[in-house]
Amino acid sequence: MKHTAEAVIIGGGIIGCASAYYLAKKGCSVIVLEGSDYIGNGGSSRNGGGVRQSGRDPREIPMVMWGIQNVWPTLSEELGVDVEYTQKGNLRLGKTPAHLKILEGLTERAKACGLGVEMIDGDEVRKINPYLSEEVIGASFCPTDGHANPLTATLGYYKRARELGVRFITGEKVLKLLTVKGKIRKVVTENNTYEGEKVLVAAGYESRKITESVGIDIPMQKVKLTCLVTEAQPFMFEQMLGTAEADFYGHQSSHGSFVFGGSTGLEPCEKDNGHGISQSGSASCICRGIMKYFPALKDAKIVREWSGFIDECADKVPVISPVEEVPGLYLACGFTGHGFGIAPGAGVNIAEMMTEGNFTVDNMKDFRYDRFKAKI
């Protein structure tokens, strides 16, 4: 087995797989190392499937808008896998005046970035989605948002990159990075040593431990989220949904099942925090959240729930950046649970960053690794 490539990517989630695909498309030889036994085993298979621009930090909006305009509409054809992309808008719902205030703030900031998003009242919300309860008094609506299937999108990038000659090795946990003559060179795993001129660390929270070996630290923490899925239901609606307080989020898939994600708020204090195991109360809590907004779903059966961790960055925006102290080392981590919809845009920019050294979007300085400063 050949252990050397132009680029070694650590992390086989959607960011690692998409970056591998776009690098391979540029003619770069790539090895992807995934620590777990499965491709897309972190946040990539543990999210609500939103492909949205609204409700984001303004710093993320140019990249995700670019991806939605240029990549998402034709991604299924490009990868040869149905990623179930549906662009029918995102409703971010509110039930109280305080919720509306949060939504108004998000909407104003997104509009300033050139995004078409509007505040609408309860009746207008129910015109778009008649199943919503009377408790909903308003929402932000962005018609160019949507949703897709994070599992097939991640595996689609993997499949296509593999077809282009990218080597994927799972069950290969990275222990440390080594430099040679001041430049990044070696990636040491439990079983082997790989070498590359360039190394991209896209391993979610685990990136922190890996970059520690070359003296780089990104302030982030692990946050647990739970997802659940219902049995297939008759067609109800096509919008992506979220709430002002993020009680739950999700959509009805093209298959008919509803996929929702959410949290109880107690996750940071769980006694076994550190294990990706669903807590018994999480799915129940998410169900109550859903039923308050969608009373009609009370008889829908949950067939499966699962949990996982997101890598929440200190300022809740990812790090996508070259590392100046270690030439050849690049980071793409800390996506804070917003990493799915932005992944195609991020992947294109990461490939450009690692080859030409420039970016398609012009605000990449917002994602630098050295932006974190103490408050005093």
Residues at the contact surface with another protein, assessed by CB under 8 A: 1, 35-41, 45, 81, 151-152, 154-155, 158-159, 162, 167-173, 190-192, 229-232, 255, 278, 280-281, 283-285, 287-288, 290-291, 297-306
Half-sphere exposure for 304 (CA within 13 Å, toward CB)? 8
In the complex with another protein, the residue whose CB is nearer, 148 or 320, is 148
In the complex with another protein, the residue whose CB is nearer, 306 or 372, is 306
Is-contact 144 89, C-beta < 8 A? yes
In the complex with another protein, the residue whose CB is nearer, 221 or 278, is 278
Rounded to a whole number of angstroms, the minimum distance from the CB of residue 248 to another protein is 11
In the complex with another protein, the residue whose CB is nearer, 82 or 312, is 82
Measuring CA to CA, which residue among 34, 356, 40 is closest to residue 167? 34
Q: How many residues does the chain have?
A: 376
CA 243 centroid distance within chain: 18
Rounded to a whole number of angstroms, the minimum distance from the CB of residue 159 to another protein is 5
Which residues are CB-contacts of 271 (< 8 A; sequence separation ≥ 6)?
Answer: none
Is-contact 361 338, C-beta < 8 A? no
3-class DSSP assignment, residue 296: helix
In the complex with another protein, the residue whose CB is nearer, 142 or 151, is 151
CA–CA distance, 30 with 188 (Å, rounded to integer): 16
Rounded to a whole number of angstroms, the minimum distance from the CB of residue 42 to another protein is 13
CA–CA distance, 9 with 196 (Å, rounded to integer): 9
In the complex with another protein, the residue whose CB is nearer, 97 or 235, is 235
Amino acid identity of 107? Answer: T
In the complex with another protein, the residue whose CB is nearer, 102 or 161, is 161
CA–CA distance, 290 with 269 (Å, rounded to integer): 24
Rounded to a whole number of angstroms, the minimum distance from the CB of residue 123 to another protein is 26
Rounded to a whole number of angstroms, the minimum distance from the CB of residue 307 to another protein is 10
CA–CA distance, 66 with 361 (Å, rounded to integer): 8
Rounded to a whole number of angstroms, the minimum distance from the CB of residue 9 to another protein is 13
Rounded to a whole number of angstroms, the minimum distance from the CB of residue 229 to another protein is 8
CA–CA distance, 361 with 341 (Å, rounded to integer): 16
